[in-house]
């Protein structure tokens, strides 16, 4: 009986220690309003820099290295991709598309 009371007291103490909610977590505004609207969420990014980054990404997509372009062509054709796993992308491209000329 005595050990049951001690065990219950210990369980209550452990529960109180782990379930205690400090005032520090209540000080932040996220506690009351966990979600913000889309406009406030994107306030820190300026529209000019986003548009500039998108245009820079498009420029990088247009000016790809020939090896990268060949690798993408080879990845789109499944037998070439299997061959590339064994022999490399350069050899696979030459094997499947070597007779063709690319721009």
> Is residue 81, in this structure, part of any structural domain at all?
yes
Going from the C-alpha of 84 to that of each of 7, 14, 99, the distances in angstroms are 65, 59, 17
pTM (2 d.p.): 0.39
d(CA 12, CA 44): 46
> Is residue 22, in this structure, part of any structural domain at all?
no
Give me the mean pLDDT over the 19-43 stretch.
Answer: 65
What angle is formed at CA 66 by the lines to CA 62 and CA 71, rounded to 5 degrees? 100
> Is residue 88, in this structure, part of any structural domain at all?
yes
> Is residue 6, in this structure, part of any structural domain at all?
no
Domain ranges, residue 96: 65-102
Give me the mean pLDDT over the 60-72 stretch.
Answer: 81
Does residue 79 carry a pLDDT above 90? yes
> Is residue 71, in this structure, part of any structural domain at all?
yes
Q: Between residues 20 and 64, which one has the greater pLDDT? A: 64
């Amino acid at each position: 009986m005595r050990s049951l009371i001690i065990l219950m007291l210990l369980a209550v103490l452990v529960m109180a220690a782990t379930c205690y909610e400090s005032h520090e977590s209540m000080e932040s505004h996220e506690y009351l309003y966990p979600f913000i609207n889309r406009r406030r969420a994107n306030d820190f990014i300026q529209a000019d820099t986003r548009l500039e980054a998108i245009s820079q990404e498009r420029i990088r997509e247009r000016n790809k290295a020939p090896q990268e372009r060949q690798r993408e062509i080879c990845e789109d054709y499944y037998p070439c991709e299997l061959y590339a796993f064994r022999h490399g992308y350069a050899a696979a491209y030459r094997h499947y598309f070597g007779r063709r000329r690319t721009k």
